[in-house]
A and B are shown apart, each in its own frame.
Chain A
Amino acid sequence: MGGLSMENLTATQNRNISLGEKPEGIEGVGFFATSLEKVVGLARKNSIWPLPFATSCCGIEFMATMGAHYDLGRFGAERLSFSPRQADLLMVMGTIAKKMGPVLRQVYEQMAEPRWVLSVGACASSGGIFDTYSVLQGIDRIIPVDVYVPGCPPRPEQIIDGVIKIQKLVETESLRRRDSPEYKAMLNKYGIE
């Protein structure tokens, strides 16, 4: 057996890994029962496919976030989706000019439900220093936003913090939320659907 012995396995194991928390449920010998909602939430939370919409310096911070040092892949968001149809999370990073607005909105509309939006940085959240005629004063004027990350630009740690907050929303979201009249009314407020 040699190299495959139990002692060697434990010696080379990475002990810094934390596994996903088991949801609340009833447990017995050979079975575990919980609600579907919790299982779906757990699965979704740990396999978010982000669509990076990076237009400026916040996009550079995002590249660092995806890189080996900070590594967003640790949170299950390893796989970037460059097609909105397959993405779960729209990450808007950077200044959005008014001329870019309809494009961003179209990308959001093309995403399938359930979808979340993370607004990274001062420009995406409020227009930032670009208080001027050509810049959209926050993307929440055209699409709904779930989490805002402040900073100009925010550090990778802050972006990761924003993604963790998105994960909390994803995990605890009710399966019926997207069918609720409140949600439809919210989308209608933005003129979507």
Chain B
Amino acid sequence: MADSQEEKLVSIIKEKFEDQVVLVEQLYDFLTITLKKDRITEIIQFLYDHPDTKFQFLTTLAAVHYPDNNQIGLMYQLHNMYSNERVRLKIYLPIENPVAPTLTNIFAAANWMERETYDFYGVIFEGHPNLKRILNVDEMIIFPMRKEYPLEDQTREDKEDDMFGR
């Protein structure tokens, strides 16, 4: 995406949602806009409908755990198929109450992505039609990709801690 297009996109967002934009940055040549979490679906719907943005494809949706800030970052990657432009939107949720609105009303593809994000990070997507674990066993009581959990299986007995760097 050329710089002018990016500036145009940022100005379109800022025109309507000036107070929602926290940070605009280029991360690894990828326009990343950090937003406040409250009006995120409204903004994504706006970018979907707006004739100059038309972000009508959800490439991916994922979470990141930031243990130092006690936050969970939620990242949406959108694609404009008409002009091949891409943008990443990011919001932060508090770890005690990681609740975000669902995107399933805008993108049907968000259904499984949100289930996966719930499965691994425990993000609650309000309004999701079927928010349950998708990959891990149903009996699992933790959200394993959060950094508060050790990666190794704690039930194994055949490894000596000294030899395996625990």
Contact = CB atoms under 8 A, between A and B. Distances in A.
Contact of A134 (B144, B158, B164): B144
B137 interface: yes
B158 A126 contact: yes
Interface residues of A, number: 11
Interface in A119-151: 126-127, 131-135, 137-138
Contacts of A131: 151-153, 156, 159, 164
Interface residues of B, number: 14
B82 interface: no
A69 interface: no
B144 A133 contact: yes
B155 interface: yes
A138 B159 CA distance: 12
B70 interface: no
Contacts, number: 30
Contacts of B158: 126, 137-138
A138 B153 CA distance: 12
A99 interface: yes
B136 A132 contact: no
Interface in B144-166: 144, 149, 151-153, 155-156, 158-159, 164
Given A126-B156, A127-B153, A132-B153, 8 more contacts: A99-B136, A127-B156, A131-B153, A133-B144, A133-B151, A135-B153, A137-B158, A138-B158
21 contacts: A99-B136, A126-B158, A127-B153, A131-B151, A131-B152, A131-B156, A131-B159, A131-B164, A132-B151, A132-B152, A133-B140, A133-B142, A133-B144, A133-B149, A133-B151, A133-B153, A134-B144, A135-B153, A137-B153, A137-B156, A138-B158
Interface of A: 98-99, 126-127, 131-135, 137-138
